[in-house]
Amino acid sequence: MSTESHRPSFLQRYIFSTDHKVIGIQFLFTSLFMLLFGGLLAMLIRWQLGWPGHPLAFMEKIAPEGMPGGIMVPEYYNMLFTMHGSIMIFFAIIPLLVGVFGNYLIPLKIGAGDMAFPRLNMISYWMMPPAIAIVCAGFFLQGGAAAAGWTAYAPLSTTLGPGQVCWIVAIIVLGTSSIMGAVNYVTTIINLRAPGMSFFRLPLSIWALFITAIMVLLATPVLASALILLLLDCTAGTSFFLPAGLIIDGIAQHNSGGQVLLWQHLFWFYSHPAVYIMILPAMGIASEILPVFSRKPLFGYHSMVYAIIGIAGLGFLVWAHHMFASGMNPTLGTSFMISTMIIAVPSAIKTFNWLGTLWRGSIRLTTPMLHALGFVSMFVIGGLTGIFAAATPVDLYIHDTYFIVGHLHYVLFGGSLFGIFAGITFWFPKMFGRMLNETLGKLHFALTFAFFNAVMFPMFILGIAGMPRRIYDYTQYAHLAHVGGLNRMMSVAAFCLLASQLLFIINFFWSLFRGKPAGDNPWQANTLEWATSSPPPHGNFTVTPTVYRGPYEYSVPGHAKDWLPQHDPLPSPGGH
Amino acid sequence: MLTVVLRLAAAVTVWLAAAAAAWADATPGVRIWLPEAITTTAPEIDRLFYCVLVITGIAFVLVEATLLVFLIRYRARPGRSATYTHGNSLVEIIWTVLPACLLLVLALRSQRVWARVRGTPPTPQLEVEITAEQFAWNIRYAGADGTFNTADDITTVNQLHLPVQKTVLIRLKSKDVIHSFFVPQFRMKQDAVPGLTTHVWISATKTGHYEIACAELCGLGHYRMRGYLTIETSEAFQAWLAQTLAEQQT
């Protein structure tokens, strides 16, 4: 590597760096900031749901049009949940899981010096800030930012103002960034593995990121094309999604021949795989952390790999389960119900194997382990509640109610976000060379876990009571007159949930400068990233490591230590 | 470390208790749960719901309880080391086949109800046409001649009256964006899609006053796109039709 030949300038080193570790950390700071922003939007949503129509005085200065006198208007509410969903999914969770962990971990864990295409990698990060600028520009435009839901269903999305156009353009830019990242991950994993690192010696997190990258490559171009069609419908007068005879605001439109449901099919053809793009890497992280802190090999390595491949394959065949009530042919409903039931099987296999990993382990409840266990226990709820939505007749009732909002938050917060917290707390010592504070970390986990459940679990009950989602003022409905108390309780818990994140922020920045020095391998783990210094030098390894065994050889009988690193040349008794 | 887990469990319990309290007596006598079921098919959907609830509930309790037991029983203690094992093919097969069988049962049960509610509807005794627009439900009855779009059609806005114990076919259309016809007591939701005609059939089993909600985001007035549903006896329904027609013609 070129560290000896020339000293890179500050700009080359930290801003326009082609080092995968710097790019991963850039993604980390950017997407954590967006996570906080998305969380703040959620607080405004919870304010309106807890106390409909009550003024929030300071908001008048921030959003004089959206909250005149501090009282929220319906358009502003629609914008809030649209932007909350879009920012969390496209600008926080996907970049955190794929951008951060994909970039940071892949070369280190396969024993490579960097990505296959470092410059492409840098560009993939540098498309994110412009995308953020474009999507947020909507807040300052006439009519505000996008307000058609994160699903942007046509024709509604084509009737809204310039904020919606910004949203479409930003997602296209971000999709391009994802595609560039994915090309890089796939190429790197196939070509740059260290000697001895066969596919079935890859750590589960790398398997998960590999399959995720393939899903991104197959699904994201479909979203990009659909968005371009929607953009044309919005701006160029085309009719891809607009049928003849529309009368909008009393004005007859001149469209003809478009299909409204086509948008939904194309959108969900991307967005259902996207759900797995948001959960597979978190599953990989959990599969990585559970063996380390159980001091035990991962239970059923091969079935875990096949389950990931199964989920990814089936993930492309379930998209229309979002459309059971859409007016699509009911026979299609049956086939998508069946494929959705089938996809529950590999998810169950993964859960049981995680339990199998804990069985007869020697469990250490460190902060990353607690988050990984939080992931397993909450993902179970997310998965099981999905079965209600898969049962087509039940979905006719719970579709578009708070039941679905609860379900998706158990998958994306309980699942993805606990996985993200597990990953950040686990690899923080490697990224920054210092340990996080364990007491603060555990307190953060405990409060997050408790308040998360207090906000999200009652959503199932609201959904069962028939409360529709995306409703600015549910007190309009007589049949929802009695849900105010529960909603207020949830709102208080949501504010506490956000406040608890202060502990994480304090811990993060304090430890960045004052944390205990980590050493190379603070968790006594086996995979290759722990074989180099913390943080690793440019080029990662001074000598390319050779891999002798699988990644989870813990508590090997007859071995003095209870871990046996992948690059340790000792003969492996009974390992694979 | 165990104390953290216990404190955590205590915190969760307190919150669940608070939630349960809010749930049980938000308004005395009204529980936040499934609303009453007032069609012939709604109880079938409820039975399927409870079936899924029982199966997933058992799975949930088993998995979470196992997790907690393992965390306590296999916590790190001096002198005891972890068992070295990479897994077991037999248990892999068991925990693949068992969920697959349960899901198969659920799929078959779902399909039976699905075929009834969404398959070919039974011959209707009354047809109603609802055209949704931002932000109202335009309701049209065919009138005495049984043909839509003739002079004796009866039209209302947001007022849907239906006779009890009659098979009714509701045709849904939309003028502008997607809306969704949702009556919680029917356990039924159907999108009204511009460019398509979708339908819902019901046979009500109970008279009373209910609400129609729009369940698909349709713009700034989405939250107040509420309709009123009255289920009444055939005689009362006919009288209402005649009265509405008379008001319309004056």
Residue B13 has pLDDT above 80, yes or no: no
User: Is A373 part of any domain?
Assistant: yes
Does B184 contact chain A (CB < 8 Å)?
yes
Q: Which of B5, B49, B91 sits opposite A365 (nearest CB)?
A: B5
Task: Enter the ipTM.
Answer: 0.95
Cα three-residue angle B160-B162-B167, rounded to 5 degrees: 135
Lookup: tokens for B19 = 């939630």
Burial classification of residue A100, based on how many CB atoms lie within 10 Å of its CB (0-12 exposed, 13-18 middle, 19 or more buried): buried
What is the mean pLDDT of the segment spanning A375-379?
97
Give the model's pLDDT for residue B29. Answer: 57
Closest listed residue to residue A354, CA positions, set A278, A409, A296: A296
Does B4 contact chain A (CB < 8 Å)?
yes
Give the model's pLDDT for residue B15. Answer: 66
Give the model's pLDDT for residue A3. Answer: 45
Does B169 contact chain A (CB < 8 Å)?
no
Cβ B216–A476 below 8 Å, yes or no? no
User: Is A8 part of any domain?
Assistant: no
Give the model's pLDDT for residue B21. Answer: 64
Q: Which residues of B touch A442 (CB under 8 A)?
A: 1, 4
Search chain A and give the residue with CA nearest B197.
Answer: A327
Name the domain count of chain A: 1
Q: How far is B204 from chain A (nearest CA, A)?
A: 16
The one-letter amino acid code at A43 reads: M
Q: Is the separation of the CB atoms in A31 and A92 below 8 Å?
A: yes
> What does the alpha-carbon distance between residue A228 and residue A238 come to, in Å, rounded to a whole number?
11
Q: Which residues of B touch A255 (CB under 8 A)?
A: none
* Full domain range(s) for residue A492: 20-246+254-531
Give the model's pLDDT for residue A548. Answer: 96
Q: Which of A244, A363, A400 sits opposite B76 (nearest CB)?
A: A363
Q: Which residues of A touch B104 (CB under 8 A)?
A: 341
Q: Tens digit of pLDDT for each residue in A56-95?
A: 999 999 999 999 999 999 999 999 999 999 999 999 999 9
Tell me if residue A161 falls in helix, strand or coil: coil
Q: Tens digit of pLDDT for each residue in A227-261?
A: 999 999 999 999 999 999 999 999 999 999 999 99
Find all residues with CB under 8 Å of B49, minimum gap 6, and list them.
Answer: A388, A391, A394, A397, B34
Does B227 contact chain A (CB < 8 Å)?
no
Q: What CATH number is given to the structural domain containing A450?
A: 1.20.210.10
B contact test, residue of A267, A290, A360 with most B CBs within 10 A: A360
Q: Is the dihedral of CA A123, A129, A132, A133 positive or negative?
A: negative
Q: Is the separation of the CB atoms in A399 and B45 below 8 Å?
A: no
> What does the alpha-carbon distance between residue A540 and residue A84 come to, in Å, rounded to a whole number?
37
Closest listed residue to residue B199, CA positions, set B175, B217, B173: B173
Residue B9 has pLDDT above 70, yes or no: no
Cβ B92–A341 below 8 Å, yes or no? no
Give the model's pLDDT for residue A41. Answer: 97
Q: Which residues of B touch A248 (CB under 8 A)?
A: 134, 176-177
What is the mean pLDDT of the segment spanning B82-110?
96
Cβ A351–B5 below 8 Å, yes or no? no
What is the mean pLDDT of the segment spanning A19-38?
97
Does B91 contact chain A (CB < 8 Å)?
yes
The one-letter amino acid code at A68 reads: P
Strand partners, B138: B131, B157
Number of neighbouring beta carbons within 10 Å of residue B241? 16
Q: Which residues of A touch B191 (CB under 8 A)?
A: 325-327
Cβ B178–A260 below 8 Å, yes or no? yes
Q: Which residues of B touch A149 (CB under 8 A)?
A: 217
Q: Tens digit of pLDDT for each residue in A260-305?
A: 999 999 999 999 999 999 999 999 999 999 999 999 999 999 999 9
Give the model's pLDDT for residue A2. Answer: 44
Domains of chain B: 34-75+88-119 (1.10.287), 126-249 (2.60.40.420)
> What does the alpha-carbon distance between residue A75 and residue B220 come to, in Å, rounded to a whole number?
5
What is the mean pLDDT of the segment spanning A33-49?
98
Give the model's pLDDT for residue A155. Answer: 95
Confidence category of residue B22, pLDDT binned at 50, 70, 90: low
User: Is A560 part of any domain?
Assistant: no
User: Is A543 part of any domain?
Assistant: no
Cβ B180–A325 below 8 Å, yes or no? yes
User: Is A571 part of any domain?
Assistant: no
Give the model's pLDDT for residue A282. Answer: 98
User: Is A575 part of any domain?
Assistant: no
Cβ A449–B12 below 8 Å, yes or no? yes
> How far apart, in Å, are the Cα atoms of A432 and each of A235, A517, A537?
46, 9, 11
Residue B67 has pLDDT above 60, yes or no: yes
Percent of chain B residues past pLDDT 70, beyond the cut: 88
User: Is A7 part of any domain?
Assistant: no
List, as ranges, residues 11-30 from B with C-beta within 8 Å of A. 11-12, 15-16, 18-19, 22-23, 26-27, 30
Cβ A364–B76 below 8 Å, yes or no? yes
Cβ B217–A450 below 8 Å, yes or no? no
Q: DSSP state, A407? A: H
Percent of chain A residues past pLDDT 90, beyond the cut: 95
Q: How many helices (H) and strands (E) does chain A have?
A: 21, 2
Q: Which residues of B touch A147 (CB under 8 A)?
A: 220
Give the model's pLDDT for residue A174. Answer: 97
Q: Is the separation of the CB atoms in A481 and A427 below 8 Å?
A: no
Q: Which of B84, B95, B182 sits opposite A349 (nearest CB)?
A: B95
Cβ A396–B81 below 8 Å, yes or no? no
Residue A181 has pLDDT above 60, yes or no: yes
User: Is A440 part of any domain?
Assistant: yes
> How far apart, in Å, are the Cα atoms of A81 and each of A14, A164, B201?
34, 14, 33
Percent of chain A residues past pLDDT 70, beyond the cut: 98
Q: In what order do the strands lie in the sheet with B188-192?
A: B159-163, B226-232, B208-214, B179-183, B188-192
DSSP β-ladder status, B167-174 and B226-232 = unpaired
Does B217 contact chain A (CB < 8 Å)?
yes
Mean pLDDT of chain A: 95
Lookup: tokens for A157 = 């999305």
